[in-house]
Structure 1
Amino acid sequence: MNARTGLEPTAMSVAGSNVIDSADQVTPVVLAAMSRAPSPRLREIMASLVRHAHDFARETRLTEEEWEAGITFLNRIGKATHDRHNEGVLFSDAVGFSTLVCLLNNGNAGATETASALLGPFWRANSPRTPNGGSIVRSETQGPVLFVEARVTDPGRRPLAGVEVDVWQSSPVGLYENQDSDQADMNLRGKFTTDEDGRTSFRSVKPAGYPVPTDGPVGELLRAQGRHEFRPAHLHFLCFKPGMKTLITQVFVDDDERLHSDVVFGVTSHLIGDFRLRGPAEPPPAPDVSGKWYSLRCDFVMEPGEAKLPVPPIA
């Protein structure tokens, strides 16, 4: 009852009013208020977000304390994000949202194009340009030597020349160079260009699996859920060429023990590579290599489309 008038409240007694008297009125009032947005896509996205978020609160009977904890968690994600680490992307990865968006937008994978994969929180846009056949090992890095040969074609298997192939990986100790003061800047990163046959090659070390950062809110979430924090070993590739749809993908080491339990749900069967162990009897591509070494051959297929680069998650 209204204390001033002595009358029972009535919902939406004034057209367009934001006065709300019950939980059932909240969602339609909010949707009506947002319906004036000039962008149709913004109206669609925000209306769906509000409906699902409000339904989530109703379904779980969310308490005020739980709402406060959730807001605090989101605020801490923002505070933990900086030029060298992106906690927001890590959270999206850890709940499978990044992989879902990737697969929704790259649904032809396995049919006409190479399977896409999430970008991850460690891509840097300014990797050094490196000649084909060059090394991305830029500081002392222990680990088995790896030689990679890659070929990029269109859906008709015609070679694509001039494709910019950006490569990045963690070191065998499980850290990207921006996380590790013992590595030189841009260690295990490089940007190559395919030749007339669509080929490029480079030298590296075999990557290792690694834990995602767990010193922030995402780490707390993983511990609360009883989940491990490890990713299986992999190489990242980003292929860019005007007139072709940008391809972001990963190639996973086939003998990694965590292929079936990736903490960010990023493994698909199409992304498992053939990392071949070579013996001393097989001559390596470089004369300074002795003993065992690894080789990897990758075939990437790009489709015609819009060439655009993602926003770098770190500087």
Structure 2
Amino acid sequence: MSEIPAEQQERESALVERVVASFAGTPDPRTRELVEALTRHLHGFLRETRLTEQEWKQAVDFLTAVGHITDDRRQEFILLSDVLGASMQTITVNNQAYADATEATVFGPFFVEGSPEVGLGGDVAHGAPGEPCWVEGTVRDTGGSPVGGARVEVWEADADGRYDVQYADDRVTGRGHLHSDGRGRYRFWAVTPTPYPIPDDGPVGELLRLTGRSPMRASHLHLMVEAPGHRTLVTHVFPRGDAYLDSDSVFGVRDSLVVDVHQQLPTTPTPDGRAVVGPWARIDFDIVLAPSSGG
């Protein structure tokens, strides 16, 4: 690219400063900080790449398409944030490392409020297809004390790689919540996590194809853990050996969240005496919560 004449650079810089100055009267200091920084970074991108007017129109059309496909069951903007790593970066910034607290990862677009309460040892699968999987562990604080009464929210895709909200029949499967007992212990039945592609039939999928990226997510189980006085934890459990651990499409994998999945023979007794037809699996995952003031 040829060198940009000094006069042109001055014109561009002057425009940036005029736009930034237009926000000087913003009453809220944080809002002013955000819009001024956004303006500088956006103009910096435009100037660095020398974006053409046609490319800008394509960008606007792309964002318009993201908005059009978004509804109460599909959040394409979250999906876009995820594949650009913006979701994971925001989580990284807002969940600073604290002692041995469990690491956080992406929330994802498939969480739904109002999941059924299944109770300790309950079944969050609710008939979702997949291999039965027993998940258990202990919730504790960074001082090693158990956290009783912690709300453990669980959601996951079924063996076909789909969440319940991706079906048209209003089923409620693969999601539920329970509370840890007085010793911080939790346990439930789910299905063994399997890999699946993020929805790629929209503009985000087209972006991935244009850039030669895979839409596949590494196998995972979502957990959100809440307890008074502690930082809410949104995290995943990733089975060790999954083919997509190093190429997860939303950059959600953290080494500390990769766990062993212990395959069980059909004749192996289950922890709660449940009758299971065929093989099943179990996952052990202890959770450590940071204090609410911890980063």
Q: TM-score, normalised by structure 2?
A: 0.92
| Other-structure match for 1:265 | 251
2:110 paired residue among 118, 122, 130: 122
Alignment map for 1:140-155 (pairs within 5 Å): 141-155=128-142
Tell me the alpha carbon deviations over residues 267-307 of structure 1, each in whole angstroms, 9 at most, x when there is no partner: 0101112211122453223341144211111111112217x
The alpha-carbon deviation at position 171 of structure 1 amounts to 0.1
**Contact 2:155–2:223 (8 Å) recurs in 1:** yes
Distance 2:12 2:181 in 1: 63
Counterpart residue type for residue 123 of structure 2: S
Output the CA distance in 2 between the equivalents of 1:130 and 1:162.
14
Residue equivalent to 1:220: 206
The match for 1:83 among 64, 69, 72 is 72
Q: CA deviation at 1:173?
A: 0.4
Q: CA deviation at 1:222?
A: 0.3
| 1:233 equivalent in alignment to 2:219 | yes
The aligned residue for residue 28 of structure 2 is: 39
Q: Is 1:167 aligned with 2:154?
A: yes
* Alignment partner, residue 14 of structure 2: 25
One of 87, 94, 111 as aligned partner of 2:83? 94
Which amino acid in the other structure matches residue 171 of structure 1? D
State how far apart, in whole Å, the 1-side matches of 2:259 and 2:112 are: 23
1:55 to 41, 44, 60: 44
Question: Which residue is 1:293 aligned to?
Answer: 280
Unaligned runs of 5+ in 2: 1-9
- 2:76 and 2:277 map into 1 onto residues whose CA distance is 41
Query: Structure 1 residue 143: deviation in Å?
Result: 2.3
In 1, distance between residues paired with 2:221 and 2:258?
A: 10
- Per-residue CA deviations over 1:141-199 (Å, capped at 9, x if unaligned) read 332210010211010110001111100000010000110247x6220101101110111
Where does residue 5 of structure 2 map in the other structure?
Answer: none
Deviations along 1:89-126, whole A, 9 cap, x unmatched?
000000111011111111216x3310100100011121
1:192-229 deviations in whole A, cap 9, x for unaligned?
01110111111111121111011111011000001111
Q: Distance in 1 between matches of 2:68 and 2:151?
A: 34
Q: Distance in 2 between matches of 1:92 and 1:287?
A: 41
The answer to whether 1:302 aligns with 2:289 is: yes
Query: TM (normalized to structure 1)?
Result: 0.86
Aligned residues: 284
Indicate if the aligned counterparts of 2:266 and 2:276 stay in contact, CA closer than 8 A.
no
Aligned residues with identical type, % of pairs: 39
Q: Structure 2: how far apart are the matches of 1:174 and 1:280?
A: 24
Following the alignment from structure 1 to structure 2, what is the Cα–Cα distance between the partners of residues 142 and 186?
13
Tell me the residue number matched to 1:247: 233
Q: Name the residue aligned to 2:58.
A: 69
Moved over 3 A (4+): none
Q: What is the RMSD computed on CA atoms of the aligned residues?
A: 1.7
Q: What SS does structure 2 have at the residue aligned with 1:117?
A: coil
Map 1:264-283 to 2 at 5 A: 264-280=250-266, 282-283=268-269
Residue 255 of structure 1, CA deviation: 2.2
Work out which of the two has the higher radius of gyration on C-alpha atoms and give 1 or 2. 1
Q: Secondary structure at the match of 2:22?
A: helix
